[in-house]
Amino acid sequence: MSIRFAVLGAGRIGQVHAKAVSSVQGAILVAVADPVESAAQHICDSYGCDIRTIDTILASADVDAVIICTPTDTHADLIERFVKSGKAVFCEKPVDLDVKRARKVVETVAAEKGQLMVGFQRRFDPDFMALKKAIDDGVIGEVEMVTLTSRDPGAPPADYIKRSGGIFRDMTIHDFDVARWLLGEEVATVQAAASVLTDPAIKGLGDYDSVNVILTTKTGKQCTITNTRRATYGYDQRIEVHGSKGSVSAENHRQSRIEVANADGYTRPPLLDFFMNRYTAAYANEIAAFVAAVANNTPTPTTGLDGLKALELADAALASVATGQTIRLS
Amino acid sequence: MSIRFAVLGAGRIGQVHAKAVSSVQGAILVAVADPVESAAQHICDSYGCDIRTIDTILASADVDAVIICTPTDTHADLIERFVKSGKAVFCEKPVDLDVKRARKVVETVAAEKGQLMVGFQRRFDPDFMALKKAIDDGVIGEVEMVTLTSRDPGAPPADYIKRSGGIFRDMTIHDFDVARWLLGEEVATVQAAASVLTDPAIKGLGDYDSVNVILTTKTGKQCTITNTRRATYGYDQRIEVHGSKGSVSAENHRQSRIEVANADGYTRPPLLDFFMNRYTAAYANEIAAFVAAVANNTPTPTTGLDGLKALELADAALASVATGQTIRLS
Amino acid sequence: MSIRFAVLGAGRIGQVHAKAVSSVQGAILVAVADPVESAAQHICDSYGCDIRTIDTILASADVDAVIICTPTDTHADLIERFVKSGKAVFCEKPVDLDVKRARKVVETVAAEKGQLMVGFQRRFDPDFMALKKAIDDGVIGEVEMVTLTSRDPGAPPADYIKRSGGIFRDMTIHDFDVARWLLGEEVATVQAAASVLTDPAIKGLGDYDSVNVILTTKTGKQCTITNTRRATYGYDQRIEVHGSKGSVSAENHRQSRIEVANADGYTRPPLLDFFMNRYTAAYANEIAAFVAAVANNTPTPTTGLDGLKALELADAALASVATGQTIRLS
Amino acid sequence: MSIRFAVLGAGRIGQVHAKAVSSVQGAILVAVADPVESAAQHICDSYGCDIRTIDTILASADVDAVIICTPTDTHADLIERFVKSGKAVFCEKPVDLDVKRARKVVETVAAEKGQLMVGFQRRFDPDFMALKKAIDDGVIGEVEMVTLTSRDPGAPPADYIKRSGGIFRDMTIHDFDVARWLLGEEVATVQAAASVLTDPAIKGLGDYDSVNVILTTKTGKQCTITNTRRATYGYDQRIEVHGSKGSVSAENHRQSRIEVANADGYTRPPLLDFFMNRYTAAYANEIAAFVAAVANNTPTPTTGLDGLKALELADAALASVATGQTIRLS
């Protein structure tokens, strides 16, 4: 029997997930909710489903699972309400910008024995999965040092930055999750540096645009994260993992695989410059994994705890910048 | 209004095209025909449509266009029957193994003012399209020399080889079409060499497994084609075009974008090893282009004439091998 | 007129520099000193020169310049003595393991108006020079983030580690110098993490084998340095510099430029695994630059101050590890 | 005891070989001959040797071996005279532009039991040697298809072309030799196409600038050669060998190993654009191999027969172009 879905929030990422649900075997899109009717209508037109309010969906017996793509400040409440109603929940990161609130959500989900998967799509990117598999297969021996490079083509609008919780909670949070995934053990200490180099307006918003972070685990494994909000050559997303027997890395995705040679040299196209086409396959795989977990009633591959842990790392990075201290996680 | 399709032949490539039709905006899959009911049923189950006989489809008022994926020896007749019935036709290559018959089909289509698109999917591969665009944009100046490398992971079964018309008509034919597309002018002379190097059984079938061809146009532009039926590293599909101002090339598709480094060196995965996942995007783009041509009643991007010309080059290559002569096309 | 050289210390690096002097136009190798006669003799046999004691060389009117390749703990004294004797001095890094002593040397050289070049050969590697030139030509705009990856194939012997001053003063010191060279402004703060992951014996020696460092300048430019003492794939030496208009990076040097493709994938050879053949051209360029500076009586491209600054960064990194603090440089 | 050399002809390539002799252990440069005194003097100044006439060198008891770098039309006579005088001979390709004359030279050398090495430096390029070693080590199994791409940055002057014997004898000849070296068996048939695409003046000289050749051995192994006289991106020199178990290829040499990324894409520098710096190491290795053969009185790695065979292939290619036939070698 197919899992029946509703998508809450029909914005950019809601559209992506609606499409994923529609193309995954074993999942049916039943309803969508969004105060902006044209957005909701667009999903209905594309994939065929009802428009309902969130409250109606909460009460809908024909909805087994929801995908929360609403604004961040609604995530925690919605997760709790839907988990309590017995529905499986997929929620875009973050659970909440406040660690305490996020922790409470995780506790609630546990108490309810609910299913909560948090949207860290990078874990489902085919190349990153191949990299992880190589590690798990022992190809590089014991993981020692992880190097993550994430650079956005450009900064989001000021309005977005204001509500984002800052670069560590909005952008680096993906790297924090990838770091935990690849290090294979929890982070013990965090050191971070942060500057504003691309646009002074970002300073005015109390945020940074260029950051480097060092994570160290209890056994001494290390991870560095390099982020910037401006890369002229596209959306730069690289992973390199160094181990006792070797190293494994994943290349970027270019706009095409051609190369032009002339008197100026050999030129390959810039990178894909938008997270949505860079991670198209990842988003689809992610939803497929959620569908499988709900269908089989197995643990979701990412959980609220993953969301919480990544958020704690973001807070630690901020504290390191503020205090000039290496922050030790409890 | 959507174009209503029927797929004739529900084998491997029929499945691919049925999927493409189902996902292209403006196209609806109405019917499928195949004597093997389970194959036809599989398409119905996946995409929703009727099973009908070919004759029924020919008479169906609710079918605007057909995609012919039946065995090669049925192509010519089916094209003629469906074009005469006023339906748009997409046909997998080749139109026919016999040049005269293929020429007659082209004439019939012209007389009927019908629409016939022949399936040369490489022209619709995103990377090859980017390469072609670079040429058309003048990036490499005047095209002078084209180098095509196509290597299959392994030879098809003996039964297939027997009916295939031989390596030039079955495999090189794609390169002949790409050569014409990229050279931008017709081929004047053909020189070819052919050997059996991978499996003596292929010799017994009167075919070759390793061939090289030089094509030359009237103005002296040249193209080399290298084909073999065995490549341990996957499905090797490369294009390089050298021009007066520079060169443009397209890389292969690997199984993933990871690289492992250890004492043995730096290793990237083998290539995709099947034409269907190598050309997934190409097949979808190809059908989308056909749908657009039918919807707008514009010329299809490839035609029966393209099928005919490629076949003439295959025959010329065979003649060159047989006679030790440079074959001049009329 | 040619500059007449003596090489002090005929070990591994002394041999390299003797060869460089012999092949640089405008330089003549006159003498070599080494308590191990066979080592000195080898240089004489290869390039033709006298064996003399250090004291004799100090008094030799036919020696204009010396290249100090003796053990680290002799560097400071030798620099001072030779500078006072009016000879130009090239000294392998470090000037001294003690910052105060190194500072005194710098002051002495300044007081004597002497010429002291410190051996940071990476600045003279053709690829790194091309990278620096691209930055200086404005190709990437304003430098924002530098990423340095240096991995040794294996740890040096325990005896060497004991006398080396530790990984930051022995290995990272090259990266500290490259960081200053590329950032184009002095480092303001240092954060470092250090572990022992490859060999517990290194812990017994009070050293580390795996370190990450973040350097930040006053204006917020950042540099990360990743070092490890074990890389199975060779001597890993990469630079990437990200700027406001783009990025520039330098690739590693492989053992050859071949690539093998088979069912296991596409494999290129491991990296050169020894700093001497990796930096052959750099060592030659370095000595040529020293010869030019001496011949023209111009400032040397690197100075004792560069040696001192790099050492201060090493000490700051150690302090950061020890205290868990971001260390601010005065 | 060292082998004592004379260099005949102090032009561009004479300078290269003089330098090689000077730096190879076991070889001494004794004399140079050139009617242009300044050229000869330059070699004397750089490496220390006498200027003598060719006749004097022929009679010089202190000369064991000569390197012939004089104009092509003098090669055959000089080889014969020096071989007869008992000296070992290294001669730049070609032995002669006329196959009969070249054959006679080979016979004379054989009759005299002399040593004649012909200058096919590509066999001594470190990367091509690594590629050959991989083949000899069985890494790719049985060799099946060789692909050689050689593109010059620009055509030589008209005067040079006139005397060169045409593109097949001057440029492709290197590829013919490499083909024989890599195929591991003699060529049975030759097919060639040739055009003038870069400069009509070349047509006026009776030559071509763009050629493709297919070589086939008796057992059906094939080799394609692609040549052009104009490549805007530098001196393009690639080899790819496809075998039963895999493939091996050798990359080009760029001006440096940097890569710049910006909104236009990822750009690596053009190739080295001169055969002399592209093949610096090859020329040195080549002379070292000659010195070793002379010193040990062993067969030289390339011989007059290699020169003859390559020339025969050039003639066959010309005949194929002229007659439109596949040319069979006797």
Decide the pairing of beta strands B116-119 and B88-92.
parallel
How many angstroms separate the CA of residue C146 from the nearest CA in chain A? 10
pLDDT digits (tens, 9 = 90+) for B167-217: 999 999 999 999 999 999 999 999 999 999 999 999 999 999 999 999 999
Mean pLDDT of chain B, nearest integer = 96
Please tell me which of the candidates C134, C256, C259 has its beta carbon nearest to residue D260.
Answer: C134
Cα–Cα distance measured from residue D288 to residue B147, given in angstroms and rounded to the nearest whole number: 36
* Alpha carbon distance, N-terminus to C-terminus of chain A: 44
Place of tokens 């390191």: A320
A262 contacts B249? CB cut-off 8 A: no
Which uninterrupted H or E stretch holds C44? Answer: helix C37-47
pLDDT of residue A48: 87
Q: A touches which chains (3+ CB pairs under 8 A)?
A: B, C, D
pLDDT of residue A25: 83
∠ at Cα D132 (D128, D138), nearest 5°? 150
pLDDT digits (tens, 9 = 90+) for B51-100: 999 999 999 999 999 999 999 999 999 999 999 999 999 999 999 999 99
pLDDT of residue B266: 98
Interface test with C, best of D133, D247, D257 (most C CBs within 10 A): D257
How far from the centroid of its chain's Cα atoms is residue A27's Cα?
22
Q: Which residues pair with C51 in a beta bridge?
A: C32
For the residues A133-157, what does the mean pLDDT come to? 97
Taking the CB of residue C161, how many other CB atoms lie within 10 A of it? 21
Which uninterrupted H or E stretch holds A250? Answer: strand A247-250
Find chain A residues with C-beta within 8 A of D261's C-beta. 232-233, 270
Find chain B residues with C-beta within 8 A of D226's C-beta. 145, 147, 224
A253 contacts B130? CB cut-off 8 A: no
Taking the CB of residue B129, how many other CB atoms lie within 10 A of it? 18
Please tell me which of the candidates D144, D195, D228 has its beta carbon nearest to residue B242.
Answer: D228
For chain A, what percent of residues have pLDDT higher than 90?
A: 95
For the residues D236-241, what does the mean pLDDT come to? 98
D254 contacts A270? CB cut-off 8 A: no
Please tell me which of the candidates D191, D226, D231 has its beta carbon nearest to residue B193.
Answer: D191
ipTM (interface predicted TM): 0.96
Interface of A with D (CB under 8 A): 232-233, 254, 261-270
How many angstroms separate the CA of residue A244 from the nearest CA in chain D? 27
- CATH class of the domain at B123-281+310-328: alpha beta
How many angstroms separate the CA of residue D27 from the nearest CA in chain C? 14
Give the pair of three-digit tokens for residue B15. 């499945």
Q: Pick left, alpha or beta for residue C165 (phi over 0 → left; psi -120 to 50 → alpha; otherwise beta).
A: left
Chain B, nearest residue to A263 by Cα: B246
Interface of D with A (CB under 8 A): 232-233, 254, 261-270
For the residues C93-111, what does the mean pLDDT come to? 97
Interface test with B, best of C266, C267, C268, C273 (most B CBs within 10 A): C266
Q: Omega into B94 within 30° of 0, i.e. cis?
A: yes
Residues 6+ apart with CB under 8 A from D107: none
For the entire predicted model, the pTM comes to: 0.96
If one compares D275 and A312, the residue with the highest pLDDT of the two is A312
Calculate Rg over the CA atoms of chain D: 20
Q: Is the pLDDT of residue C227 over 80?
A: yes
Chain A, nearest residue to D153 by Cα: A263
Interface test with C, best of B151, B251, B266 (most C CBs within 10 A): B266
How many angstroms separate the CA of residue B52 from the nearest CA in chain D? 46
Chain B, nearest residue to A135 by Cα: B260
Interface of B with C (CB under 8 A): 232-233, 254, 261-270
Residue among B306, B296, B326, B329 nearest B1 (CA):
B296
∠ at Cα A268 (A250, C127), nearest 5°? 80
How many angstroms separate the CA of residue C95 from the nearest CA in chain D? 31
Residue A188 phi/psi, 5° resolution? -100, -40
pLDDT of residue B47: 87
- Secondary structure, 3-state, chain B: CCEEEEEECCCHHHHHHHHHHHHCCCEEEEEEECCCHHHHHHHHHHHCCEECCHHHHHHCCCCCEEEECCCHHHHHHHHHHHHHCCCEEEEECCCCCCHHHHHHHHHHHHHCCCCEEEECHHHHCHHHHHHHHHHHCCCCCCEEEEEEEEECCCCCCHHHHHHHCCHHHHCHHHHHHHHHHHHCCCEEEEEEEEECCCCHHHHHCCCCCEEEEEEEECCCCEEEEEEECCCCCCCEEEEEEEECCCEEEECCCECCCEEEEECCEEEECCECCCHHHHCHHHHHHHHHHHHHHHHHCCCCCCCHHHHHHHHHHHHHHHHHHHHCECEECC
How many angstroms separate the CA of residue D151 from the nearest CA in chain A? 13
How many angstroms separate the CA of residue C232 from the nearest CA in chain B? 5
Question: What is the residue extent of each domain of chain C?
Answer: 3-121, 123-281+310-328
Interface test with A, best of B144, B256, B268, B278 (most A CBs within 10 A): B256
Cα–Cα distance measured from residue A86 to residue A88, given in angstroms and rounded to the nearest whole number: 7
Find chain B residues with C-beta within 8 A of D233's C-beta. 246-247
Interface test with C, best of A222, A320, A323 (most C CBs within 10 A): A222
Mean pLDDT of chain A, nearest integer = 96
Classify residue A124 by its DSSP letter: G
Split at pLDDT 50, 70, 90, the class of B302 is: very high
Taking one residue from B and the other from C, the number of pairs with CB-CB distance under 8 angstroms is 49
Please tell me which of the candidates D142, D145, D224 has its beta carbon nearest to residue B228.
Answer: D145
Find chain A residues with C-beta within 8 A of C197's C-beta. 142, 144, 220-221, 244
Chain A, nearest residue to B253 by Cα: A257
Residues 6+ apart with CB under 8 A from C324: A189, A325, A326, A328
pLDDT digits (tens, 9 = 90+) for D120-135: 999 999 999 999 999 9
Residues 6+ apart with CB under 8 A from D143: D135, D182, D183, D184, D221, D241, D242, D243
Please tell me which of the candidates B144, B191, B325 has its beta carbon nearest to residue D193.
Answer: B191
Find chain D residues with C-beta within 8 A of A233's C-beta. 261-263, 265-266
Mean pLDDT of chain C, nearest integer = 96
How many angstroms separate the CA of residue A146 from the nearest CA in chain B? 14
Cα–Cα distance measured from residue B13 to residue B70, given in angstroms and rounded to the nearest whole number: 9
pLDDT of residue C24: 87
pLDDT digits (tens, 9 = 90+) for D289-314: 999 999 999 999 999 999 999 999 99
Interface test with A, best of B140, B257, B285 (most A CBs within 10 A): B257
Please tell me which of the candidates D134, D256, D262 has its beta carbon nearest to residue C258.
Answer: D134
D270 contacts A263? CB cut-off 8 A: yes
Find chain D residues with C-beta within 8 A of A261's C-beta. 232-233, 270
D189 contacts B324? CB cut-off 8 A: yes
Decide the pairing of beta strands B222-228 and D3-8.
unpaired
Interface test with B, best of A19, A47, A257, A264 (most B CBs within 10 A): A257
Q: Which residues pair with C75 in a beta bridge?
A: none
Q: Which residues pair with A211 in a beta bridge?
A: A194, A227
pLDDT digits (tens, 9 = 90+) for A283-300: 999 999 999 999 999 999
Q: Which residues pair with D167 in a beta bridge?
A: none
CATH architecture observed for domain A3-121: 3-Layer(aba) Sandwich (3.40)
Q: Is the pLDDT of residue B1 over 80?
A: no
Q: Which residues pair with C239 in a beta bridge?
A: C148, C250
How many angstroms separate the CA of residue A117 from the nearest CA in chain B? 26
Chain D, nearest residue to A236 by Cα: D261
Q: Is the pLDDT of residue A1 over 80?
A: no
Which uninterrupted H or E stretch holds C210? Answer: strand C210-217
For the residues D32-61, what does the mean pLDDT come to? 94
What 3-state DSSP class applies to C35?
Answer: coil
Find chain B residues with C-beta within 8 A of A247's C-beta. 260-262
Please tell me which of the candidates A254, A265, A270 has its beta carbon nearest to residue D269.
Answer: A265
What 3-state DSSP class applies to A27?
Answer: strand
Helices (H), chain A: 12-23, 37-47, 54-58, 72-84, 99-111, 126-136, 158-164, 167-170, 172-183, 200-204, 275-278, 280-296, 304-323
pLDDT digits (tens, 9 = 90+) for B98-155: 999 999 999 999 999 999 999 999 999 999 999 999 999 999 999 999 999 999 999 9
Residue among B232, B269, B235 nearest B252 (CA):
B235
Q: Is the pLDDT of residue B272 over 80?
A: yes
Find chain C residues with C-beta within 8 A of D140's C-beta. 260, 262
B130 contacts A269? CB cut-off 8 A: yes
A258 contacts B127? CB cut-off 8 A: yes
Please tell me which of the candidates A189, A191, A233 has its beta carbon nearest to residue C246.
Answer: A233
How many angstroms separate the CA of residue B273 from the nearest CA in chain A? 17
pLDDT digits (tens, 9 = 90+) for C128-167: 999 999 999 999 999 999 999 999 999 999 999 999 999 9
